[in-house]
A and B are shown apart, each in its own frame.
Chain A
Amino acid sequence: EAQVTQNPRYLITVTGKKLTVTCSQNMNHEYMSWYRQDPGLGLRQIYYSMNVEVTDKGDVPEGYKVSRKEKRNFPLILESPSPNQTSLYFCASSPGEPNSPLHFGNGTRLTVT
């Protein structure tokens, strides 16, 4: 089944403790992206990657890192999480053409205390 898989689905952590949220897609998509969803703000893009070894900042990149060493994987790294990063995170992928729709994972709900 074609899908975008995120892990974990739920994560509770403390301020400053490094964490990684994994994202993997099995559709051979060129483009991958991370979004955070907050009430009243919709989805805001954190980072995106047009292809392997190519990443770029989105609208809200502060406090996050990403890497794209393989086509299928695009992990999101929080080196020193803070409470304002408590949010619902989504990974998405697409073939890469501008009019291609995104395929989303099921989300990771992160709570930072």
Chain B
Amino acid sequence: AQSVAQPEDQVNVAEGNPLTVKCTYSVSGNPYLFWYVQYPNRGLQFLLKYITGDNLVKGSYGFEAEFNKSQTSFHLKKPSALVSDSALYFCAVKERWGNNRLAFGKGNQVVVIP
């Protein structure tokens, strides 16, 4: 069964510095990979996804993620963090040819310090 690991509970970064949120996954075969963001008192919002092709995926709000098949990772990145990026970030994986189940990681709290 597919699973996701987000090893850090919280990521602290100074405003203007690069932001990285780590994600590794386990799945049979090739994956579909997603990142979502959750702001306080809101539902999750889709940021970006990897389907196939270019390993660097660009998404909303200046975020991007790099798919690395050999390391089974899909780390989320932003070159220059904003205070408004402070939120909870979830990585999720789905099997390409299996069940339609989307497995989420436990989430990473990102705190951007002014």
Q: Using a CB–CB distance below 8 Å, which chain A residues touch chain B? A: 4, 31, 35, 40-45, 48, 50, 58, 90, 92, 98-99, 101-107
Contacts and interface: CB of A to CB of B under 8 A. Distances in A.
A35 B49 CA distance: 20
Interface of B: 4, 6, 32, 34, 36, 41-46, 49, 51, 90, 94, 96, 100-102, 104-107
10 contacts: A31-B100, A35-B104, A42-B6, A42-B104, A42-B107, A43-B44, A45-B102, A58-B101, A101-B36, A107-B41
Label chain A's interface by main secondary structure: strand
A102 B102 contact: yes
Nearest to B100: A98
Contacts of A106: 41-43
A11 B104 CA distance: 25
A41 B106 contact: yes
B100 A104 contact: no
A42 B43 contact: no
A98 B46 contact: no
Contacts of A103: 46
5 shortest A-B CB distances, which residue pairs? A104-B43, A42-B106, A101-B46, A43-B104, A104-B44
